[in-house]
A and B are shown apart, each in its own frame.
With several copies, the nearest count.
Chain A
Amino acid sequence: MKRLYNRPDAVVDEAVEGLALVHPDLLRLSPDPMYVTRADAPVRGRVALVSGGGSGHEPMHVGFVGPGMLSAACPGAVFTSPTADQVEAAARAVDGGAGVLLIVKNYSGDVMNFEMAAELLAADGIATETVLVADDVAVEDSTYTSGRRGVGATVLVEKICGAAAERGADLAAVAELGRKVAARSRSLGLALSAGTVPATGRPGFVLADDEIEFGVGIHGEPGRERRPMEPADALTDRALAAVLDDFAADELTGDVLLFVNGLGSATPMECAIVARRAVRTLGERGLRVARSLVGQYMTSLDMLGVSLTVLRLDDDLARLWDDPVETVALRWGR
């Protein structure tokens, strides 16, 4: 492994420090327990949004901290959920009296640590609600298991809930909105090669030159199947088919938000090539891509691959998506 690191075990600390250092106007870093808040937190009378998760998925989540999106992010070790301490401290720091929304990706570790934090906060009278994101259609959805992984929809939930909070919605309303976005989103990822975990220096899995992992997780979890490599258009269509098949037939109409997400080493050209096909294929399926997000937003270290997320929009969601946002990774309006 040859990467721009100093020490494998310092990667996360140094990266978060570096990011905070170059965005002093936007971010405020608390080193121990580690979390990052928007510079103007707490914002009085506004619902605060706290998210977090394992590191290695940058720009998520620290890159989404700022007006119109997250109030705080808690970065865990690489691919390891943050501790309950981090979440609790972050929530305390950003609570503006209107309660705290915890946005949690559905992984055992994340769920449990956020839940412990919520218990600790409740004991001190800080109101919390939790939105669980579980949009990965690669995993079978079953009540007998841990259920689906949370992937691309997380970014959409954070953006849209952040807009609602900024507009002054109350905690219950922001939480309900987050659940709505999560429920209307589906994702699937595929990898041409795995990311390399700093601690081990080895790729999470190894694929042959003509193989892909279809339905891969953002921690390098194996997917639905290993398949032969195909051209970008064929892979895009295959991923979209999996995503769309998971919606009910009568949901496949109207406007959607398309999120083409590079998983780490996909170049802007590759993301755009996939997006081109996805817009067309969705159009042929009767879905209009009314909004889109294309780029690397939720990565898996240096994994080469993409994930596709489709969110069924309505006027309300589209409006909140368009609302101003000012973070390291997403910025528009004002």
Chain B
Amino acid sequence: MSEELTGADVAAVFHRYAKTVAELKDLLTELDTAVGDGDHGTNLDRGMRAAVEALDAGTPGTPGAVFNLVGRRLVSTVGGASGALYGTAFLRAAGAAGDATGLDASRMAAVLRQATDGIAARGKCAAGDKTMYDVWSAATEAVESAAAGGTGLAAALSAGAVAAAETVRRMVPWQARRGRASYLGERSVGHRDPGAVSSQALFECLAAQAAA
């Protein structure tokens, strides 16, 4: 259990996430076939493979440097909505992390807030649109309130992961208002949003790393 994530830890989060995405690839693609164009799994998998390759090629550095590298690789290799959104999120996270060598609970909350706001700005989306933003927003709020309450990093990120999972479930009956699923109108009701599911996995990787 760590009360701070170093650059190496954040790199480990992304290694973990790349592995998870590879495992979830088919599920994500299936979810995206139902409400979108069936490429979310392939897209994110291509990007995360490129990201860990880049991480492995250099020396880790600060958390901010890691976020920056991952964000840039995603922007260059993914394309589509998720490339822009995850890319923007991690580049904003890098900005918020600055030169810090470690992220404790409150710093992590600030980093996630910037990332979440980046998604809203990039996606022109709001809570309730049934996109990955709902997950980021709920998870970030949970981390923020845990941090504000003085909880340690591991517990705060665990609260974030729980909130993420809950939100994914809560969103199922909603109607999508942004992204490709919105073209479906009422037919988007009853489906899990692919970007929400991949975002949940990210928060679970963060929590797992802090708990390790």
Residues of A that sit less than 8 Å from B by CB: 33, 54, 76-86, 107-109, 112-113, 115-116, 138-140, 144-146, 149, 197, 199-200, 204, 217, 219-222
Contact = CB atoms under 8 A, between A and B. Distances in A.
A78 B80 CA distance: 10
B76 A83 contact: yes
Contacts of B78: 80, 83
Nearest to A86: B79
B179 A146 contact: yes
Contacts of A84: 75-76, 83-84, 87
Contacts of B33: 200, 204
B122 A79 contact: no
A107 B81 CA distance: 8
Interface stretch (B10-18, B95-103, B149-157, B180-188): B180-188
Nearest to A205: B33
Contact of A199 (B39, B81, B84, B182): B39
Contact of B39 (A80, A82, A145): A80
Contacts of A139: 183
Interface residues of B, number: 33
Contacts of A145: 177-178, 182
25 contacts: A81-B79, A83-B83, A84-B75, A107-B180, A108-B178, A109-B80, A109-B180, A112-B81, A112-B84, A112-B85, A112-B123, A113-B79, A116-B75, A116-B84, A146-B182, A197-B39, A199-B42, A200-B29, A219-B37, A220-B37, A221-B36, A221-B37, A221-B183, A221-B184, A222-B184
A139 B179 CA distance: 13
A119 B146 CA distance: 35
Contacts of A78: 39
Contact of B84 (A113, A138, A222): A113
A112 to B, nearest CB: 3
B199 interface: no
Nearest to A113: B84
A82 B79 contact: yes
B38 A112 contact: no
B179 A85 contact: no
Contacts of A116: 75, 84, 87-88, 122
Interface string B120-163: 00110000000000000000000000000000000000000000
Question: Top 5 closest A-B pairs, CB basis?
Answer: A112-B84, A109-B80, A109-B81, A219-B37, A108-B81
A112 B77 contact: no
A84 B47 CA distance: 14
A79 B182 contact: no
B43 interface: yes
Nearest to A32: B76
Contacts of A80: 37, 39, 42-43, 78-80, 83
Given A109-B81, A140-B185, 4 more contacts: A76-B80, A81-B79, A146-B180, A220-B38
A218 B37 CA distance: 10
A289 to B, nearest CB: 29
Nearest to A149: B183
Contact of A76 (B79, B87, B182, B184): B79
Contacts of A79: 37-39
A197 B187 CA distance: 22
Contacts of A115: 84, 122
B179 A108 contact: yes
A66 to B, nearest CB: 24
Contacts of A204: 33, 37-38
A33 B50 CA distance: 14
Contact of B123 (A108, A138, A144, A199): A108
Nearest to A83: B79
